[in-house]
Amino acid sequence: MQKNKQDISDKESTLQKIERMHPYAMVLYLSIIGSTLIFFGMIVAFLMATYGGNRPPMESIAMPKSFYLSTVLLLASSWILERAVKAFKVDDFVSLRRSLVILMGISLAFAGLQSVGWLELYVASKTIETSSLAIASLYIVSVLHWLHILAGVIYTSYYLSQVSSMYKDPVKILITVTNPYEALKLRMLRTYWHFVDALWLVLFLIFMIVL
């Protein structure tokens, strides 16, 4: 009986947390869940195109060097984001702005390296006998992730413009750090970027195994 009461209490606590969640945060989490399901389906389709049916396994293709470098950049972006959050907590908006600028640069560099990687894959796939469906699936998965990066760049540029308009004004900074909604925006930015970073790591590992 006591255990049942505890279970009900835990459920009510979870429901209360969900009810208190900001609508924007709810939309973000639902979007992340939806994107995860989409990528899961795309990964399954990629693996089926590579190994499914009576098709022979895809011949080995060298992993594009740009993919290795872009992975390092994304790992660096997670570290930069944590520095940005720490800067926000101590009201250091100069460091916050600098971290966001670096994040923007890393994101744009990642997008450029992905384009180089697609070109490398295209050239490599022309020199071997392989399933065109498997290569097409690989492109689709990586392009879909690239679009998620683009969405993150757009939101980061919006947030950076806000920080840039106040980072030298102590009054505006004080108002911002005491506003829960402003803290929420940065938490959402961090959550989204960590999601796309983790997503790429999963894709990268799969590519390493398959290619």
pLDDT value, residue 193: 92
User: Residue 127 in 3-state DSSP?
Assistant: coil
Tell me, what CATH number does 94's domain have?
1.20.120.80
Domains held by the chain: number: 1
**Other CB atoms closer than 10 Å to residue 66's CB: what's the count?**
19
> What pLDDT was estimated at residue 183?
87
Separation CA 100–CA 156 (nearest Å): 7
Q: What's the pLDDT score for residue 169?
A: 84
Per-residue pLDDT, 49: 72
End-to-end C-alpha distance for the chain, whole angstroms:
55
Q: What is the pLDDT of residue 170?
A: 86
DSSP H helical segments within the chain, as ranges? 2-20, 23-51, 65-89, 93-125, 132-164, 170-177, 180-210
Angle at 105 between CA 206 and CA 38, to 5 degrees: 35
Q: What is the pTM of this model?
A: 0.81
- Show the domain range for 32: 2-56+63-210
Q: List CB contacts of 39: < 8 A, sequence separation 6 or more.
A: 141, 144, 145, 199, 202, 203
Closest CA to 120 of 152, 142, 149: 142
User: What is the residue-level pLDDT of the chain in tens, covering all 211 positions?
Assistant: 444 545 444 445 655 665 567 788 888 899 999 999 999 988 888 787 777 655 555 556 677 888 889 889 988 988 999 999 999 989 899 999 999 999 999 999 998 888 888 888 777 766 555 556 667 777 888 889 999 999 999 999 999 999 998 888 888 888 888 888 888 889 999 999 999 999 999 998 888 887 6
The pLDDT assigned to 52 comes to 63
